[in-house]
């Protein structure tokens, strides 16, 4: 990926201490932090084929190295995550340079987020996509009792692996309510309904940036994204707020007038 290599070298030569992106290593794609423009990892960098919660990694790097500046390759969802994390005082965007990567048409269709590209695109070309509401519409057509039973069936498959939480770029609490024994009983699988998933859904209200990584990570295929998308729709309808879209908008769930 010659364009990406050139961008990395340019950023490292202009006051950036390290560049976070992805590389291909023995058939697997993984995050890589490049701090030297002569690094052998430059020959392995890739701009597609895989998604990682790079925003969460950047947040950790900023905490670990408070005097450093970083560049990071961002898809639309990564940019939304960084914008929202900045509002939540988890990242300092003054120390971050975002290099935009547009999702390919195939990736955009497969993911289906509302904006599969960042505001400024350095790699790829913008394509449009439409979020799927198929599951939401199906559930909204059901009586309330049947809707509840449908979700119970989904959550009965949960193995409490914490994959949805661990991969989420918007989960950063040091003390997680999902591990509070008073709220979620330890050693019980599936977790008692509805505490585990309701706690996480409420935590994501006004925060979820619709990357879909939680659903991708779920080993039992729980349709988590539809749950969080519905929460997002409610927040937008009731409060006029979409997470990660406008850096100047305050999250209405983080303050009281």
What pLDDT sits at residue 256? 57
pLDDT confidence of residue 50 = 84
How far apart (Å, rounded) are the C-alpha atoms in residues 111 and 216?
A: 10
Cis bond leading into 218, ω under 30°?
Answer: no
Token pair 């006004």 in the structure block, residue: 206
The pLDDT assigned to 110 comes to 86
Q: What is the pTM of this model?
A: 0.93
Distances (CA, A) of 256 to 239, 248, 251, 253: 13, 17, 10, 8
Query: Average pLDDT over the chain, rounded to whole?
Result: 93
DSSP of 5-46: HHHHHHHHTTT-SEEEEEEEETTEEEEEEE--TT-GGGGGEE
Q: What is the per-residue pLDDT across 29-41, written as a single tens digit (0 to 9) for each?
A: 999 999 999 999 9
Q: Taking the CB of residue 113, how many other CB atoms lie within 10 A of it?
A: 22
DSSP three-state, residue 200: helix
Q: What is the pLDDT of residue 129?
A: 84
Largest CA distance in the chain: 62
DSSP state of 152: H
Query: What gap in Å lies between CA 99 and CA 121, rounded to an integer?
Result: 7
Residues (pLDDT < 70) of the chain are: 1-2, 256-257
Q: Which residues contact 44 (CB under 8 A, 6 or more apart)?
A: 23, 24, 25, 32
d(C-alpha 207, C-alpha 84), whole Å:
7
Q: pLDDT tens digit string along 119-153? A: 999 999 999 888 888 999 999 999 999 999 999 99
- Distance, in Å, from the CA atom of 144 to the CA atom of 123, rounded to the nearest integer, reads 45
pLDDT at 182: 93
Residue for token pair 């599969």? 116
Per-residue confidence (pLDDT) for residue 2, from 0 to 100: 63
Cβ–Cβ < 8 Å for 21, 50:
no
């Amino acid at each position: 990926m010659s364009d990406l290599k050139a961008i990395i070298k340019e950023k490292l030569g202009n006051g950036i201490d390290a560049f976070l992106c992805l590389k291909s290593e023995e058939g697997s794609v993984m995050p890589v932090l490049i701090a030297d423009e002569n690094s052998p990892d430059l020959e392995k960098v890739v701009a597609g084929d895989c998604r990682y919660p790079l925003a969460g990694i950047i947040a950790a790097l900023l905490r670990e190295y408070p005097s450093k500046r970083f560049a990071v390759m961002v898809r639309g969802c990564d940019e939304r995550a960084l914008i929202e994390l900045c509002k939540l005082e988890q990242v300092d965007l003054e120390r971050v340079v975002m290099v935009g990567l547009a999702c390919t048409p195939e990736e955009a269709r497969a993911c289906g987020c509302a904006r599969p590209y960042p505001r400024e695109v350095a790699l790829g070309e913008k394509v449009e996509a439409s979020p799927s509401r198929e599951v939401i519409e199906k559930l909204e057509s059901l009586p309330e009792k049947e809707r509840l039973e449908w979700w119970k069936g989904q959550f009965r498959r949960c193995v409490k692996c914490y994959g949805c939480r661990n991969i989420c770029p918007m989960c950063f609490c040091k003390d997680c309510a999902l591990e509070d024994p008073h709220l979620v009983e330890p050693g019980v699988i599936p977790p008692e309904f509805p505490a585990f998933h309701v706690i996480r859904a409420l935590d994501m209200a006004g925060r979820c940036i619709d990357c879909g990584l939680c659903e991708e990570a779920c080993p039992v295929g729980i349709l988590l994204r539809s749950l969080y998308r519905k929460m997002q729709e409610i927040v937008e309808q009731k409060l006029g707020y979409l997470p990660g879209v406008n850096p100047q908008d305050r999250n209405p769930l983080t303050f009281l007038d």
